[in-house]
Amino acid sequence: MTVKIAEVIVDVAAYPVDRPFDYLIPVEMQELIECGSRVRVPFGPRSVLGFVVSIKNETDLSIAKLKPITKLLDIEPVLTSEMLTLAKWLKHETICYEIDVLQAMLPSALRAKYEKFVSLQVNVEQLSFLLQPYFTKTKKVNYKIFEKDQLLHELKIAIKQNQVVIENVVKQQGNIKEVRKVKINDSREALQSIYENISNRAKKQKLLVEWMMNHVDEVFEPKEILDEVNCSDAVLHSVMELGAAEFIHEEVFRDVFTKDVKKTDFLDLTEEQAGALKQVINAMEQKVPETFLLHGITGSGKTEIYLQAIEHCLNDGKEAIVLVPEISLTPQMTERFRSRFGEQVAVMHSGLSVGEKYDEWRKIHEGRVKVVVGARSAVFAPFENVGILIIDEEHESTYKQEDTPRYHARDVAVWRSKYHQCPVILGSATPSLESFARAKKNVYKLLTLKNRAVSHSLLPEVQIVDMREELKNGNRSMFSEKLVEAIRVRLEKKEQMVLFLNRRGYSSFVMCRDCGTVVQCENCDISLTYHRSNEKLKCHYCGFEQWVPTTCPECQSDHIRYFGTGTQKVEEEIAKLFPEARVLRMDVDTTKTKGSHEQILEMFGDGKADILLGTQMIAKGLDFPNITLVGVLSADTSLHLPDFRSAEKTFQLLTQVSGRAGRHSLPGEVFIQTYTPEHYAIELAKVQQYEPFYEREMWTRHQAGYPPYYYLALIQISHEDVLMASEYAGKAADYLRSNLSFNVSIIGPTASSISRLQNRYRYQCLIKYKVEPNLIDTFIQLIKIYRSDWIKKGIQLSVDLNPSSI
């Protein structure tokens, strides 16, 4: 028998081993092993996980010295050859370890502890004689038994013939989202007798059981009961001990997506929609890997185009990948797909438990579904015959992963489209500048939808409210008079409204309430960031810092202060202004538990509230016919982010959120409150015209030398000691300066916007370039220096090409 050698990428990051290593394939594994399978191999003194990336008969090393693979973890490979090729490309593209990419392609369950079972799919008689005895009494047998009895080869044949499948049961380490609830006894008689047996002195207990008698067999959260009956935990426990109720563990909304959805039919497309779809279908039929930029105003029916393109793709016997931003993976969105394609759809998002995600992945891996709708990482869905890839809201920055591997889902989608010779659709009402610029240069093909799909539905009318005027007129509240009036009218007419509080992460700035001036950096034209800890303002581009001024540098007013309000405060103010209004609040606090997001939207959809108040979360994807008013409480917050994309992000956000109003027959109205009404992002959001905004913003980017005219790379360096961090950031900058050409500008090192994170001080260098053939190699050399020397000293260094924020 010839020797067989496997090239294995080992799971040892943080070590200069980013290349395949040769291992001997033991004879008993030779028939079983395939590329894309995981193995255990000895590495130095350790045993590590690895991925087989190729199998060969020769090696340059001495065969005698090769170590053998110790264990084969998958008799069916978990990665396709496409994924192995993609990993090599992505590793280069994002400058990271190949192992990081390979791991990112797989569901995390495959990294967790799990037990493998072999599950029978057919009648036991259809199995080979060797396997039959194992399945006579049960349909599920522990995989270990076949390993022990050396029947893996037989098993593999059975898998190939779909007689059995391997199921990995994840040992959940406390990450099932469960809540403890109280289920009241299902017999009224039982409760009655408990009631009678309670001593009259235990008044609270009696009261509680009496209440329970009106809620036989119902389920409550403990706190709800305590509030209802106004009793203590101890009282509840004592009646539960008497058998009046029991604790149950309820997994929260586990089956949100598997509940039945009504089948819906394809809509007759408008002329615009039909024209766009035709071009996509042409590309599918001609097998052209074309990237389409579908630029359609909010409500223009982009989703309907996706659905019909997918239908075509499925009829062709191919599979479809749909990416949507995490935040808009609402039931509304996923149900639109499930209502057309039913059980053929897998849904992947971060709200699922590790086990659930793995189940969805397995459906794809085993070919049991044809469509995946998911967040960023679903771009790695292991379909083998992809017919179309769709990225909805393509401008969203969540498509870029912030951690290694720092890939952009759009780039991966385009790569896969070339591999499968199929089209990509990037859809948005407000495309990213980068994508629109590419469309203008015919790198992408532009498809435009100018009208709303529902006939007679028009874009809402947008009014800008100057909050400086409000203040002058003595109104210090966060609601302008106009907005208050508009809300009052809606409450009377029983129409619904959305109030949007523009808030983004940690960002905060100092603004004058009288003239709208925001304190900016002397050198950079970028808003200074407020640091509460030492009451200072800092520029995180150039490091400039100053004290918070006590009077406005423009108008000398002393109404100058830190800007930012929470949704909770807004809710309180609404309660004061409109005590009768029913408000649903949706923000990070109210959506912590699984399913709460869906629950809030469902309640709103059912008309159980008048006002939906929220942050970024409510800007997208909502399609409720009864919303006629959208109020943006403060357009300024995202405008003054210390980021060159702040105008673009503000325009996108305002357009998206405005698009929630008047989507059906009722006309919509939008109020945007701002202290800087003259800013072009706000003026152009008012007229809701993308192209003028695009032109204006491109001019700004050109002037300042930002993307899409220049590319950016961000080097970040951190250390527990601030001096070490700054010293090595300086070394990195020096290294880059002496190795890159003069056409490259290197800004920094400066302190990062979050200058200290998890006890590590952070510095960064920003690199701007147009064409620099030497760039990637220089980064790789820098990383080599870092890995061989700096890492020992506790330095951490990361390189982010095309960062989504800086």
Give the annotated binding-site residues.
Answer: 512, 515, 521, 524, 539, 542, 552, 555
By CB under 6 A, residue 430 contacts ligand ADP: no
Of Zn ion, ligand ADP, none, which one does residue 267 interact with (CB within 5 to 8 Å by kind)? ligand ADP
Q: Tell me how far, at minimum, the Cβ of 393 lies from ligand ADP, in Å.
A: 9
Can residue 588 be called a binding residue for ligand ADP (CB under 6 A)?
A: no
**Under 8 Å between Cβ of 41 and 33:** no
- Any contact of residue 298 with ligand ADP (CB under 6 A)? yes
Q: How far apart are CA 216 and CA 198, in angstroms?
A: 18
Q: Which amino acid is at 704?
A: A
Choose which of 301, 331, 355, 677 interacts with ligand ADP (CB under 6 A).
Answer: 301
Minimum distance of ligand ADP from residue 268's CB (angstroms) = 6
Residue among 400 and 663 whose Cβ is closer to ligand ADP: 663
When the beta carbons of 168 and 303 are compared against ligand ADP, the nearer one is 303
Closer to ligand ADP by CB, 168 or 308: give it.
Answer: 308
In the bound state with Zn ion, the residue whose beta carbon lies nearer, of 152 and 471, is 471
Of the candidates 191, 288, 290, 171, the residue with the CA atom closest to the CA atom of residue 242: 191
Nearest approach, Cβ of residue 293 and ligand ADP (Å) = 14
Q: Which of residues 450-489 bind ligand ADP (CB under 6 A)?
A: 453-454
Q: Three-class SS of residue 424? A: strand
Quick one: what does residue 517 bind among Zn ion, ligand ADP, none, with the CB cut-off 5 to 8 Å set by partner type?
A: Zn ion
* Residue of the chain from 267, 288, 458, 687 that contacts ligand ADP (CB under 6 A): 267
Helix (H), strand (E), coil (C) string for 565-616: CCHHHHHHHHHHHCCCCCEEEECCCCCCCCCHHHHHHHHHHCCCCCEEEECH
Q: Which does 298 bind (CB under 5 to 8 A by kind): ligand ADP, Zn ion, none?
A: ligand ADP
Does residue 716 bind ligand ADP (CB under 6 A)? no
Could you tell me the strand order of the sheet in which 627-632 lies? Answer: 461-466, 669-674, 627-632, 496-500, 611-614, 583-586
**Residue 303 binds: one of ligand ADP, Zn ion, none (C-beta under 5 to 8 A by kind):** ligand ADP
Q: Of 28-36, 149-157, 262-270, 317-325, which segment contacts ligand ADP by CB under 6 A?
A: 262-270
State the Cα–Cα distance between residues 60 and 154, nearest whole angstrom.
34
Burial code (b: 16+ CB inside 10 Å, e: under 16) for 88-103 equals eebbebbbbbbbbbbb
**55: enclosing H helix or E strand:** strand 46-56
Q: How far is the CB of 762 from ligand ADP (least distance, A)?
A: 38
Q: Is 331 in the site for ligand ADP (CB under 6 A)?
A: no
Between 301 and 668, CB nearer to ligand ADP: 301
Q: Which does 18 bind (CB under 5 to 8 A by kind): Zn ion, ligand ADP, none?
A: none
Q: Which of 302, 363, 365, 679 binds ligand ADP (CB under 6 A)?
A: 302
- How deeply is 645 buried, as exposed, middle or buried, from its count of CB atoms within 10 A (0-12, 13-18, 19+)? buried
- Quote the least distance from Cβ 338 to ligand ADP, whole Å: 15
- Rounded distance, CA 637 to CA 686, Å? 17
Q: Which stretch binds ligand ADP (CB under 6 A): 92-100, 233-241, 301-309, 634-642?
A: 301-309
**Residue 722 has which token pair?**
């601030």
Give min distance, CB of 555 to Zn ion, in A.
3
* Amino acid letter for position 289: P
The answer to whether 261 contacts ligand ADP (rule: CB under 6 A) is no
Phi and psi, residue 370, nearest 5°: -120, -15
Q: What is the closest distance, in whole angstroms, from the C-beta atom of residue 7 to ligand ADP in the complex?
A: 45
Contact between 336 and 404 under an 8 Å Cβ cutoff? The reply is: no
- Which does residue 591 bind out of Zn ion, ligand ADP, none, counting CB within 5 to 8 angstroms by kind? none
**CA 496, CA 584: separation in Å to the nearest integer?**
11
Cα(734)–Cα(778) distance, integer angstroms: 12
Measure the CA–CA gap between 459 and 353, rounded to whole angstroms. Answer: 39
The whole-angstrom separation of Cα 86 and Cα 84 is 5
Choose between 241 and 268: whose C-beta lies nearer to ligand ADP.
Answer: 268
Residue ranges binding Zn ion (CB under 5 A) = 512, 514-515, 517, 521, 523-524, 539, 541-542, 544, 552, 554-555, 557
Query: In whole angstroms, how close is the CB of 535 to Zn ion at the nearest point?
Result: 19
Pattern 71-110, binding to ligand ADP, x per CB under 6 A?
A: ----------------------------------------
Q: How far is the CB of 314 from ligand ADP (least distance, A)?
A: 19
Which residues make up each annotated binding site for Zn(2+)? 512, 515, 521, 524, 539, 542, 552, 555
Q: Is the peptide bond before 26 cis (omega within 30 degrees of 0)?
A: no
Bond before 642 cis per omega within 30 degrees: no
Q: Find the shortest distance in angstroms from Cβ 455 to ligand ADP.
A: 7
Of these partners, ligand ADP, Zn ion, none, which one is at the site of residue 376 (CB under 5 to 8 Å by kind)? none
Cα within 13 Å of Cα(445), Cβ side: 15
CA–CA distance, 588 with 193 (Å, rounded to integer): 45
In the bound state with Zn ion, the residue whose beta carbon lies nearer, of 187 and 556, is 556
Residue closer to ligand ADP (CB basis): 270 or 517: 270
CA distance to 158, 223, 703, per residue, from 131 (Å): 9, 53, 71
- Is 62 buried (19+), middle (13-18) or exposed (0-12) by CB count in 10 A? exposed
Nearer to Zn ion, 30 or 557 (CB): 557
Decide whether 277 or 681 has the Cβ nearer to ligand ADP: 277
CA–CA–CA angle 381, 387, 393 (5° rounding): 65
Q: Sign of the C-alpha dihedral, residues 225, 227, 230, 234?
A: positive
Quick one: what does residue 302 bind among ligand ADP, Zn ion, none, with the CB cut-off 5 to 8 Å set by partner type?
ligand ADP
Which two three-digit tokens encode residue 282?
A: 């042409």
Nearer to ligand ADP, 349 or 663 (CB): 663
Three-state secondary-structure class, residue 139? coil
273 binds ligand ADP (CB under 6 A): yes
The CA distance from 489 to 671, in Å, is: 14
Compute the least distance from the CB of residue 276 to ligand ADP, in Å: 11
| Residues between 600 and 629 with contacts to ligand ADP, criterion CB under 6 A | 623
Interaction site with ligand ADP (CB under 6 A): 267-270, 273, 296, 298-304, 453-454, 623, 663
